Every structure is written in C-alpha cells, then in structure tokens.
Structure 1
C-alpha cells in the first residue's frame, strides 16, 4: 500500500517538473520584433573588414574602410 503512494508522488513530481519546464521555455522564448533594422554592409577591398555601406569610403565600385586603405589600394595598382 505504501508503494502505491510512493509511485503516485513520483508521478506527480515528474508531471510538475515537465509543466514547469514547458512554462519556462514558453516565457523565455525570444520574441522577434520588427524594430530591428537590417544594415547593408560592404567589405573593404584592402583589408576585408565588413562595415556599414554608409560609413564606407567609395572609389568607383570599390569600398574601403578608410581613406588610407583607399590610397594604399591605388598605389598597389
């Protein structure tokens, strides 16, 4: 008779753990928001650094992270 109560208590405890896990998982799920902006990025032709297109230095079709790299690439040509 005592064994039945032990099994019942174990089943209730396991059920509690499962429900608690599912609730935590549901509450901590990352929410996607539309407020995140995507940034158009380009790669510096000289060093390979990726940076936002608005911050890049352009030389024709090529993009550079700064004027020094643009000048160094011109000298290599």
Structure 2
C-alpha cells in the first residue's frame, strides 16, 4: 500500500513541476510579445504617403520620416512627375 502512495506522490510532484514550467514558459512568451508590440500591447499604425492606407509600423516601408505600404508606392512617391509636352 505504501508503494502505491509513493507512486501517487511522485506522479503529483511531476505533474505539478510540469504545470509550473508550462506557466513560466507562457509568461515568458507573453512578455516577449508585449515587448515587440510596445508597452500598451498595441502596435502603432502609420499611413502610406502614396495611397493613404493605414498599416502597422512593423509592416511599413520607411523612407526617411515617411511610410509606404509597398516599394512600388515608395518609388512612385519619390519619382518626379513626368512632363508630357510631346503630345
């Protein structure tokens, strides 16, 4: 009978240690996500200078202080307009 109690105690101890390790790991993962997103848990949104689309700052392409949703819009914004006087 005492061997059965010892096995039960060992099982409970192993289960408890695994549960605590899982909680620690989840807390560590949540902390990393919060650090990546900022202190308030939300990432700042920026506006594409070319089309006006709002997107997270981590997904935007930055050119100086300006933000763009894609490299095509960055290039289009930085290219001077063509003067079509040949028509």
The higher radius of gyration belongs to 1
The one of the two structures with greater contact order (alpha-carbon pairs below 8 A, sep at least 6) is: 1
